[in-house]
Chain A
Amino acid sequence: MDKPITLITGTRKGIGKYLSEYYVEKGHIVIGCSRSSIDWSLPNYKHFELDVSDEKSVRNLFRCVRKEYGRVDNVINNAGIASMNHALITPLSTVNEVLKTNFIGTFLFCREAGKMMTKNKYGRIVNFTTVATPLKLEGEAVYAASKAAILSLTQVLARELAPFNITVNAIGPTPIETDLIRSVPNEKMQALVQRQAINRYGEFQDVSNVIDFYINKKSDFITGQNIYLGGVS
């Protein structure tokens, strides 16, 4: 049987790096990308250096994937940046950056992946939302809004791509100890964790567990869904 072709964005570190290792280990061919170069390598892993919001580079990546593998089975839109700041003192440049990477990046990868997947009449797309949206966290207005846009995109795309047998779902992790939250004071993080039904930090395996479910071939009746970790709703 052919190895699944899995594309993951934002693989330089954190969840993206973990997912690359995890799916390579599970026998996938993983294509990853990040804005800067990586200091690690894996067999069956191919890396692209690009900005996920740059249309030309994204289309070029998909052209390379098509030439080399002819298809993509799974796309995991993990790349994201956060910004913690009171809305009143958030510079517009930060808003643009967050929206570009989080929303536009996700959109471009969904669009190009969707095009390639229609040919195969098969595909699984997994996007990343956040518990910051339903928890309405102060200081995360822009980040939470950018992820709310991703949730909306996921739900509409699920309908648009359903005729092509492509599912589009989302996962909303709780805080996991990665670089994304390293700059946030510990007491703030603790207060956040206390608002979850299950009061602990998320772990990488919590994320891959949900993604495994979404990309399972048997999950062809699961689309437009979003699962928040930790019992947040």
Chain B
Amino acid sequence: MKNKIEKLILNAANELNILLDHKLEIEQKSECKLYGQGGVLDSISLVTLIVKVEEKIEDEFKSSIILADEKAMSQRRSPFLTVGTLSAYIESLLNAEVVYG
């Protein structure tokens, strides 16, 4: 599942790159920096990425998760740092959804 999620985030990042002056380095795969600590996204482009990823998750996993909830915002290590951290965060959300329905 992790690979699938990562691929999906990279697809979204690739789509977003069309709009960006400073491109996301998607060839770095899971190490690709997104937001904060060397990431190239500003808050508006992060919002756009989140919307794209939520949509792709919905299509792929038939699951309506909300990425930017209080949990994500209050985590000490932001899930939006890299493609890898975001992918792990999404996986945890999807797993939680399976458990709690």
Contacts and interface: CB of A to CB of B under 8 A. Distances in A.
B73 interface: no
Nearest to A121: B19
A52 to B, nearest CB: 17
Contact of A66 (B47, B48, B52, B55): B55
A163 B51 contact: no
B44 A119 contact: no
B51 A115 contact: yes
Nearest to A60: B64
A115 to B, nearest CB: 5
Interface string B51-64: 11011001000001
Contacts of A163: 44
A164 B43 CA distance: 13
A59 interface: yes
Instruction: Tell me the interface secondary structure of chain B in the complex.
Output: helix
Instruction: Tell me the interface secondary structure of chain A in the complex.
Output: helix
B58 A115 contact: no
Contacts, number: 18
A35 interface: no
B76 to A, nearest CB: 26
Nearest to A162: B44
B64 A118 contact: no
Contacts of A164: 44, 48
A157 to B, nearest CB: 13
A119 B52 CA distance: 8
A59 B64 contact: yes
A63 B58 contact: yes
Given A56-B64, A59-B64, A63-B64, A115 B54 contact: yes
B58 A118 contact: no
Contacts of B51: 115, 118-119
18 contacts: A56-B64, A59-B64, A60-B64, A63-B58, A63-B64, A66-B55, A115-B51, A115-B54, A115-B55, A118-B47, A118-B48, A118-B51, A119-B51, A119-B52, A119-B55, A163-B44, A164-B44, A164-B48
